[in-house]
Amino acid sequence: MERLNGIASSVRHSQSITRQPHQRIVTQHITVLKVAALPVQIGSRVPAMIDDGDRVAVAGPVRDGILQALAYRNLTTGAMGNAGLGASLASMLIFLAASVLVLQWFSSPFFGSIPMLVTAALVCGGAWSGWKAVQIHQAVLGVDGA
């Protein structure tokens, strides 16, 4: 997990709009900028509140030379954001609760090993969401101390 603190430059804002199953439309706001000469990308459901010349702190992993920010704090304006900590925690709880319910409701011999397979898949989904939440939380802590 990298943490950068510096002046934002070359700030560009864009959107990615996709249609999900059942006609649901998802808007992803993408902000690309440079901090300390390193390219940074911020993706979230709401626009990042960063302009050229703002002093910012960003944290996240570096992939292919680009810091994929999981959290940011605009030290000039006080604005901050993250890559969906609340949603990751909520999906983790939903996956894990669903796995318990599947085991409780469908654990009779009639269903064979299917409930165990479904439960394993749900636990994997919960574990992935939990891992993502931990990564985002570490990034949030990284920018909070800026």
Structural domains of the chain sorted by starting position, each given as residue range(s) with its CATH number in brackets: 2-83 (2.40.50)
* H or E, element range at 26: strand 24-35
State the average pLDDT over residues 98-123. 89
Identity of the amino acid at 6: G
pTM: 0.85
Asked whether the beta carbons of 7 and 55 are under 8 A apart, the reply is yes
Q: Is the pLDDT of residue 146 over 70?
A: no
What percent of the chain shows pLDDT beyond 90? 75
Cα dist. 93→40, 70, 71, 77 in Å?
Answer: 30, 20, 22, 34
Label residue 31 by pLDDT band (50, 70, 90). Answer: very high
State the average pLDDT over residues 113-119. 90
